[in-house]
Amino acid sequence: MISFNRILTIVRRYILIHFKSPARLLDLFFWPVMELFVWGFFTVYLKNSNLDSTGRLVVTLINALVFWDILYRSQQALSLAFMEELWTRNVLNLLISPLRTREWVLGAYLYGMIKTGIIVLILLVLASVLYAFHISSLGFSFIPLAFNLLLFGYAMGLFTTGLLLRWGHAAEALIWGVPFLIQPFSAIFYPVSVYPAWLKPIVLALPSTHVMEAMRHVIDTGQFPWPSFWIALGLNVLFTLFFSWFCLRMLERGRSNGQLVRMSG
């Protein structure tokens, strides 16, 4: 039976790590804010140079930036949670504790939601103050779209965690690399129409693509495209199931061949 107290313990552990190591706060503030500055000033340039006379492109780009951070940070939260165990050589302690695998995953999920929520809030406040951007451009649509991105981010987090379980420290670079492998094919800063016909089936196989297209549709028409939401949700279920199987398979493999013990050595 799942213990909610053990799940909250995992959440508290990862939150306290940030307070004990101020350098880790860079992950919360520095990089997301720097990205906002770069793209925010770029959109100001577009607006001032009359390249976007309606201001719609400006709103779309800033929304895309916020959405990309939701996807990227949720993936990072899950993967880095396991990396913390590798860095501190705590994997063996987790294995012999009463903590169950699904409890650790749920705890990492909750931690990821808290961390991602803080980052998104910071970005929205800064975007409002510096660039007169308001989330009202999406309204309620922001919630279901962000929810789908969280799910996909967590699914990718399970995948990269599985890679860590398989190859240990040798796979650390993939934590940061995997999200950027899918970024060019997720239609984040440009529509699906720019892709060549042969590439579109791959692009449309990613939940993030449908979320980004839905976001642009809401800004352009004011209507929420429910078919895009359901397609993204269905793809998220498939990705989550497959990557969960992969992660658990690597966990069992690591237990049977002693890989997890060597990680703690």
| Model pLDDT for residues 171-194, shown as the tens digit of each residue | 777 788 888 888 888 888 888 888
- Maximum average pLDDT range among 90-99, 148-157, 161-170: 148-157
| Model pLDDT for residues 234-256, shown as the tens digit of each residue | 999 999 999 999 988 888 887 77
Q: What is the pLDDT of residue 48?
A: 61
Percent with pLDDT over 70 in the chain:
78
Contact (CB, 8 A) for 97 and 75? no
Asked if residue 213 has pLDDT above 70, the reply is yes
- Maximum average pLDDT range among 16-20, 45-49, 59-63: 59-63
- Return the sign of the alpha-carbon dihedral for residues 115, 118, 123, 124: positive
* Domain span including residue 56: 4-263
pLDDT-derived band at 226 (thresholds 50, 70, 90) equals: very high
Tell me how far CA of residue 135 lies from CA of 23, 44, 121, 198, in angstroms. 30, 17, 11, 35
Q: What is the pLDDT of residue 116?
A: 82
Q: Which two tokens stand for residue 46?
A: 């577009």
Distance, CA of 53 to CA of 172 (rounded, Å): 44
Q: What is the pLDDT of residue 74?
A: 87
Asked if residue 29 has pLDDT above 70, the reply is no
Name 118's Cβ contacts closer than 8 Å, sequence gap at least 6. Answer: 28
Number of domains in the chain: 1
